[in-house]
Structure 1
Amino acid sequence: MIGVKKRIASEQAQLLPTQISFSLGSPIPVESEDAQKLRFHELEFVQCLANPNYLHFLAQRGYFKDAAFVNYLKYLLYWKEPEYAKYLKFPMCLYFLDLLQYEHFRREIVSAQCCKFIDDQAILLWQHYTRRRTRLTALGTTSLTGLAVGGQPVGGGVQGTLLSNGPCHHAEQ
């Protein structure tokens, strides 16, 4: 685990999203092949954060107690920028990336009960959203973005829809 953390920290220090090289005669910035490869690995990792069971796995193994790993999570927030977010297949990962910025969430996700609750809520959200989208698309309405069960906005911070009334409620203390 320590070797992986050191490698991640060294790669992070070497290649930041703003470090790009320019091709000769080209005004368009182009990332080097190594930077593109690193970005792809970061994309895959960020999307894994959409899985509460993976978050639980990381928490059980102590990754969220390591300051270097927590810094890495903070660094990954650049994926929220539109120029990067457009490549995400699972935008829910950004919601969890936000939650991981809170120490009390990182502490609570180690609980299997909390993990299961979040997983169940995410599944319900996806089921409801799919049904609602199908119904509204049939009616010609397209104003679905950002709505969860009951028309509540998604992403309201730690007190958002996923964590409102469940086994993780004591995380707000």
Structure 2
Amino acid sequence: MSGRYKRYTGFEDGEGPEPDDKQRLRFQVELEFVQCLANPNYLNFLAQRGYFKDQSFINYLKYLLYWKEPDYARYLKYPMCLYFLDLLQYEHFRREVVSSQCTKFIDDQQILLWQHYTRRRTRLLQKQAEESTPGGQSNSHPPGTANGTGNGFNCNSQTNGQGQPVQKVP
């Protein structure tokens, strides 16, 4: 990892291999930083402070592309960060993310993606559960959900979680 670091950042790492605790610390710091890239507001923060104009920082972002390799990507909790890491390789994106309006749009789109992904996944799991139950009726919810909504509650639901309509109290 140290040769790659020097090649992209231009900074010397020290001579010889890194001690284990230094490697572990670098891994943790880089993991945390890469995952922060999943937050459009953090990208806006970096852009407004001029980090994306600094060539050594851009080289560092290039260096961080190794997180896309399966051996490293498996440690990521927020895989959306890899998408933003890819976008940050383009100067046009780095210029646009300075705008708060652009950042707000990206943030809204990200939230919508998560909401719809959760709904689609819940429907798919419910369908699979119904197909695996004799008679096509399922008395339980998909694994990992409290009432089949994917997040433990659904304020807009007109059903009781079993697919039966809920009567509204006047």
TM-score scaled by length of structure 1: 0.65
1:111 aligned onto 2:99: yes
Q: Provide the rounded CA distance (Å) in 2 between the counterparts of 1:101 and 1:139.
A: 40
1:96 aligned onto 2:95: no
Equivalenced residues, count: 120
| Ranges in structure 2 where 5+ consecutive residues have no aligned partner | 1-8, 130-170
1:56 aligned onto 2:55: no
Q: Name the amino acid aligned to 1:45.
A: F
Aligned to 2:74: 86
| Matching of residues 1-173 of structure 1 within 5 Å | 9=9, 13-14=12-13, 32-140=20-128
Aligned to 1:146: none
Identity level (%)? 70
Q: Provide the rounded CA distance (Å) in 2 between the counterparts of 1:40 and 1:20.
A: 18
Q: Name the amino acid aligned to 2:53.
A: K
Q: Provide the rounded CA distance (Å) in 1 between the counterparts of 2:13 and 2:101.
A: 39
Q: Provide the rounded CA distance (Å) in 1 between the counterparts of 2:29 and 2:71.
A: 17
Q: Name the amino acid aligned to 2:26.
A: L
Q: Provide the rounded CA distance (Å) in 1 between the counterparts of 2:12 and 2:49.
A: 24
| Ranges in structure 1 where 5+ consecutive residues have no aligned partner | 1-8, 22-30, 142-173
Aligned-residue RMSD, C-alpha: 2.0
How far apart are 1:13 and its partner, in Å? Answer: 4.0
TM-score scaled by length of structure 2: 0.66
Q: Provide the rounded CA distance (Å) in 2 between the counterparts of 1:80 and 1:107.
A: 23
How far apart are 1:138 and its partner, in Å? Answer: 1.7
How far apart are 1:20 and its partner, in Å? Answer: 6.2
Q: Provide the rounded CA distance (Å) in 2 between the counterparts of 1:40 and 1:14.
A: 17
Question: 1:20/1:136 Cα in 2 relative to 1: closer, same or farther (>3 Å)?
Answer: farther
Flag the structure with larger Rg.
2
